[in-house]
Amino acid sequence: MIVTLTMPDSKLIDIFLMPGDYFVGDERYRVRTLLGSCVSVTLWHPAMRIGAMSHFLLPGQGRRKAHDKPGIYGADAMNLLLEGLAHHGVPLIQCQGKIFGGAAMFPRNAKVRDIGMQNGDYARSMLQQHGIHVVSESLFGEGHRQLIFTIRSGEVLSRQVPPDTAVGGLAAQNKE
């Protein structure tokens, strides 16, 4: 008989990612973030129950300085996730990838690709380049997203909040 012990949700350690942050950990963690035009990539190994999550602001690669957030640029964030997973002995080819974010925070302009679309397309190309199978994505649209990644199950809850709802909610609070 095989017995699997799991921690109740109330015992999970919550981590909140700010823009430019990343996290790699095991089933003891639940990772949260808020996204607008930024993008989060989650990588998860089902058998090992180890996962990683980024929150990057810009596509491409930057010149990291010691005082900068290490994952501001997509390529840097991806390298940090890959290094963290390798440190845990996770075979990358067995990971499941998910991509979130890239929303328009301002009205879209037909003449210019906004940063959210650039971020989302860049995340797709990075995962493809590394041979990571994307099992889910929630990209683009308008407004911000709230994400909760439970590493134990690999589940990512994503809630997109349209701009009117967010502004209306604040206006209603300010009137009281």
Residue 6 lies in a domain: no
| Beta carbons of 53 and 33 less than 8 angstroms apart | yes
CA–CA dist 126, 45 (Å, integer): 18
- Please give the C-alpha separations between residue 87 and each of 84, 91, 92, in angstroms, as whole numbers: 5, 10, 11
On average, the pLDDT of the chain sits at 87
Residue 119 lies in a domain: yes
Residue 155 lies in a domain: yes
The answer, yes or no, to whether residue 95 has pLDDT greater than 70, is yes
Average pLDDT value for residue range 97-101: 98
Residue 112 lies in a domain: yes
Domain span at residue 83 reads: 11-175
Would you state the pLDDT for residue 66? 53
Number of domains, the chain:
1
What is the DSSP code string of 3-15? ------GGGSEEE
Query: Can you name the residues that pair with 136 across neighbouring β-strands?
Result: 98
Would you state the pLDDT for residue 6? 53
Convert the pLDDT of each residue in 35-81 to its tens digit. Answer: 999 999 999 999 999 999 999 999 988 765 655 788 999 999 999 99
Q: What is the pTM of this model?
A: 0.84
Residue 32 lies in a domain: yes
| Beta carbons of 156 and 136 less than 8 angstroms apart | yes
Question: 153: how many CB neighbours lie within 10 A of its CB?
Answer: 14
Would you state the pLDDT for residue 113? 77
The answer, yes or no, to whether residue 13 has pLDDT greater than 90, is yes
Q: Tell me, what CATH number does 149's domain have?
A: 3.30.1330.200
Residue 4 lies in a domain: no
**How much of the chain, in percent, has pLDDT values that exceed 90?**
70
The answer, yes or no, to whether residue 19 has pLDDT greater than 90, is yes
